[in-house]
Structure 1
């Protein structure tokens, strides 16, 4: 591996990644990547392998983080001080993760939504809305379609998607004997994939910013948002995985581990396996209302509606306050309700803070409803909220350890090593496919799609332009970065969205990853074979996209096996 390539990669990563790592940190990561080489992969591989082998996610992540901290503290053969220093380094990583405003906001958001779910359940709202959905979703097919549609509807943020769809749909899918693994897959596969391509979402500003900076690096200027829109047809994985769900549900077909999970649920009535450990405690979602309470859908609609409306407004006003460019601010003020203004404000918002505020406000509305309707006194309402918070403790612990593992790998230079090891001179037509695969590997190993985009985008745009200056080819390569990062993150057991999807569905986390992996890898293979390879050879997207959709349908039809109601 060449040192200049490593240094260039890590410096670019420091410049574009969300946490704005300092030049000193970037240099240290470059040195560690050179020193440890392939051994920088030990922490993520250890965590992932142990998680699958032991099904104990907390212990596996802890060992993965500690192994990385041990490597960072090891000087020569001084194992003793490396053990002690590694433990201290680990505790520092966890503290840093919790001290990060974004991470803290996500943890608080998860806890607050846990309290909100408990309140809705105790008021009878969950029972009532499950009954209302059941009047339409009377079969496994229709209930899964309902979950898919709901996932598409909550397009503006992947976290909000993961945390909302599961608790609402879980009672319905449980009653109809749909496995928790299938529900978790539907949630996960409609979270980041739809948020990543939505014209207005909390992802847009970051993606557009990377595109703008990448084009400026090669001396080109243009409408970065327009380029982002042009990449959407080339987001083959996102499009295929969304349609994969619809087609599989419609044809009632599954394959691989998911087929076994669905057969178990249908025939034995076991929505989770006998040895499964659900991510979320059932305590928050199985709270029964008192005998005098008449379940009402409004007990769910008003709090959840408050959550959605508050989040939508919060994204706008939080982003508005964050805009520091006078020209951009003037443009927004000139037409505050325009599509452009909404896109700009949404993109500039701090999603973690907004979602926490929205969940807290929705919880206060739920408490007010419970007290005013005499469903329960104020003291019991607060205790119910706290019970819901407690049910999310394990999710918070896993998130903190996953973020700590990501921080350790950043220090070790894991992503930097992967970029240097896998980047070689290639024929132009192979570049989009290789970038997609490289993004997948980095995102899977690090559990972050944002970080992967930040590392690869400033490398991809100049490389694509040098190999083939055609605007369409550069846009295709940009799409492969954004899509590969989402695919790897979608599969990774240490990804926060994967963790939150398991939590929302009440599914064993490793069972979710194991059953989803077969589907994700299949769709990714189709994205390469019917998308990036032919598009790289010059075939128009008007031909490659329908071809890929047809191939997706054929795989489900002929590889999938019928799962009867």
Structure 2
């Protein structure tokens, strides 16, 4: 009986024991917060001392009205915390130079530029971050990289669901590519191509239809449209431009594509790092109108096709093709993409075999969002709500995972039911599709890990401490766009760029907003602009880069010399990018609504193609 009472008494004391909450690692001369939990009613004030080598560096006074204090330490090393009034109120933390906190992401970016290997770059950034976190012990840092940092990343529930959805979506793409569904969708559009103008517009329209994956978009359109554009004397350079400009730009802005899980995962991680209650899916939707480059790139393709005007190297290529019938400059590369598994069962191609599974994902996600939103609101006791409240309280990760599974089952049943594929063939196609997404999932995991490292090292806090006095937060969107464009162009990977930059800029945006009195919950313009600039800038750099996979695939699928493709496309991409930065990123950050900015961008691009572009038909005469 006495033992039971004593145990109960100890547990009661432990529940109400006073504790200090503070970061274990802090930066020199960068503020951090110390909080007292379970403040004792018997004390009017509590003094907390920060010690180094038993020498009192500073004292902080707490009372009932002030349980959280912001502290700045301008020395490096190990520190102890103790209290005169409460003996068990103690702890330890380390302070390191602030500039060390930016080394992990900077090293990742630098190595990505030099080695063009994103996984190696991210690994180096994570390990060097762990080296700083674990008291500059390289051996311990390597162990913690494997058994703590990566494991914590993978066991996170939201992270796991995003990976599952990404793999499921890859499986769906694998099946509808194998059963002829993607070819069936393309065949609907190719019937419209009768003239050079309609041929280019058909390519553009096909790019909009095949929105679910940039690789599938590139390979399908290039190979399906090439015989048609050859017959219509459209240059291979123009075809490659049409293909490339309707791949990543389309997939990146559609809410149902192979990109969404990746984008959502990065955004959710960034929001989680600042303990924000903003719904990641809602923020993702809010960024779409701010993704000026992908939107404008698609419109510019339409302008070029509809007006039949070109400028720069593209004009010369089109004149050559129309006047001489010479579709390429005798340097076209061979390709065996016609034999790719994407074009199997083309004789049984039916558009609904591709459309129905994609529609299942689309409507399944919507249904899942509504269901989880209503369920969560009901569990909170809220009965009066609208669609906005439902979406905000929904579980987008769960909805996506359910929809991906339903689409996989649908695609398998449709393929087997029509006897297009056997069960083994359907499962093999699904497996190959899943395998195609493994690299993306690996990048995601490493991106989450470096995000955790930069959060522990307070990279955003350090950046804000040196930028807050000199940088207007409204300049962040355009600066982020430029940084992402440079990194993506140099590395050739938009996903790798997003993985490196997103974990830094979301916390940075929140810190700068806090200092300048901005509230992202009521006015998300800057946050949406910054996040969209990461996504749009990465697409822009990838679109221009000669080492980008989609750029290379566009050249191969179009049977166009790769350097010719890059030279002819680059002027168009740069023009669109500059217009978007000025009339999009800058203008909206200073208050211009997107519904005005986007038409202004469209009008500016029309003026450019109208007054600087020349009609190819004029050259023929």
Task: Tell me the TM-score normalized by structure 2.
Answer: 0.59
The residue aligned with 1:46 is 111
Asked if residue 174 in structure 1 is aligned to residue 226 in structure 2, the reply is yes
Q: Quick check: which has more Rg, 1 or 2?
A: 2
Question: Structure 1 residue 401: deviation in Å?
Answer: 3.9
- Alignment check: 8 A CA contact 1:108 1:356 kept: yes
The 5-angstrom pairing of residues 463-482 of structure 1 reads 463=515, 465=517, 476-482=525-531
Alpha-carbon distance change, 78 to 416 in structure 1, aligned in 2, over 3 angstroms: closer
User: Shift of residue 409 of structure 1?
Assistant: 2.9
Change (3 A) 1:111 1:309: closer
Taking a change above 3 Å as real, the CA distance of residues 272 and 161 of structure 1, as seen in their structure-2 partners, is farther
More relative contact order in 1 or in 2 (CA 8 Å, sep 6+)?
Answer: 1
Q: Cα RMSD (Å) of the superposition?
A: 6.1
1:302 pairs with 352, 371, 375, which one?
A: 352
C-alpha distance in structure 2 between counterparts of 1:163 and 1:284, whole Å:
13
Map 1:337-376; keep pairs closer than 5 Å.
348=396, 350=398, 352-371=400-419
Q: What secondary structure is seen at the aligned counterpart in 2 of 1:447?
A: helix
- The corresponding residue for 1:396 is 437
- Post-superposition Cα deviations, 1:371-428, rounded to whole Å, max 9, x if no partner, equal 2xxx56x3xx6336515743774x3343134224423532442996477447624689
Paired residue for 2:372, among 312, 318, 322? Answer: 322
Change (3 A) 1:305 1:287: closer
Q: Matched residues in 2 for 1:361 and 1:88: separation?
A: 35
Counterpart of 1:71 (choices 94, 103, 128) is 128
Choose from 306, 314, 332 the match for 1:250. Answer: 306
Q: What is the CA deviation profile of residues 94-137 of structure 1, one whole-angstrom value per residue up to 9, with x for unaligned ones? A: 993998331232123213311331122xxxx6655544422203
Secondary structure of 2:437's partner? Answer: helix
Identify unmatched segments of 5+ residues in structure 2: 1-25, 34-91, 230-235, 488-495
Gaps of 5+ in 1: 9-26, 52-59, 290-294
Q: Are the aligned partners of 1:179 and 1:262 in contact in 2 as well (CA < 8 Å)?
A: no
Are the structure 2 counterparts of residues 322 and 66 from structure 1 closer, same or farther at C-alpha, using a change threshold of 3 Å?
same
How far residue 275 of structure 1 moved from its aligned partner, in angstroms, is 8.6
- What is the distance in 2 between the residues matched to 1:270 and 1:83? 54
CA-to-partner distance for each residue in 1:494-529, whole Å, 9 max, x for gaps?
9xxx99967997969xx7997877655543432332
Shift of 1:364: 1.5
**Contact 2:291/2:535 (8 A) holds in 1:** no
The verdict on how the C-alpha distance between 1:105 and 1:517 changes in structure 2, with shifts beyond 3 A counting, is farther
Q: 1:442 to 1:503 in 2, by over 3 A?
A: closer
The alignment's TM-score, normalised by the length of structure 1, stands at 0.63
Please say if 1:240 is aligned against 2:296.
Answer: yes
Give 1:424's match in structure 2, choosing from 467, 470, 484.
467
Change (3 A) 1:192 1:230: closer
Name the one with the larger helix percent.
1
Q: State the SS of the aligned residue for 1:413.
A: helix
The answer (yes or no) to whether the contact 1:233–1:541 under 8 Å persists in 2 is yes
**Kindly tell me: are residues 130 and 493 of structure 1, through their superposed partners in 2, closer, same or farther at Cα, counting changes over 3 Å?**
closer
Is 2:176 the counterpart of 1:116?
yes
Instruction: Identify the residue that residue 274 of structure 1 maps to in structure 2.
Output: 333
Residues 337-363 of structure 1, C-alpha deviations (whole Å, 9 max, x = no match): x96588569873546524532441342
Per-residue deviation, 1:284:
1.1
Q: 1:527 to 1:538 in 2, by over 3 A?
A: same
